[in-house]
Amino acid sequence: MYSYVTELYKFSGTKVSTTTLSDWFHNSLKFKATCRKPSIFPQQKFSSINIRKLKYYINLVSYFDHTRFVFTDEKPMKGIDIYNKKVRRSPLSGSIPFVDTGFDIRNVYNLMAAIKIKK
C-alpha cells in the first residue's frame, strides 16, 4: 500500500493514507481481490552457490547439441492451491468462473512439466 500511496502522490499530487486506499480498493470496485503470499521461502537466485552451479552447467552443456535437451521440473502442490474455491471475478464481464473442487483438498499432488527446445 505504501508504494501505491507514493506513486499516487507522484502522479497526481493527491496524498492519502494507506487505510483510505485499502478501503477504496476493497469497496469501490466491482470485483474483490485478496493478496496471497505465494511462497515463504527466500529467493536465493543469485547466491554464490547458485552462480557456481550455473557456470558449471553452462560449461557442461556447451559440449552437447542443445536442441536435443528436454528440461523437466516437478512442483509439489497442496490440493487447496489447485482446487481453490476462491476465484477471481472477471473485471471485464463480472462473471465468476466455475471451479470443480476435489473431494479432499488436503491431498498433495506433484505437477510435472517437460519442455523440449526445437529449432
The Cα 78–Cα 62 span in angstroms is: 37
* pLDDT for position 38: 60
Contact 61, 69 (CB under 8 A): yes
Angle between helices 2-12 and 18-27 in degrees, nearest 10: 90
Angle at 21 between CA 16 and CA 25, to 5 degrees: 155
Q: Which three cell numbers stand for residue 40?
A: 515463504
For the chain of 119 residues, list the mean pLDDT of each consecutive stretch of 10: 85 87 76 60 76 90 82 81 66 70 69 78
* pLDDT for position 73: 87
Q: Which three cell numbers stand for residue 64?
A: 552437447
* pLDDT for position 55: 92
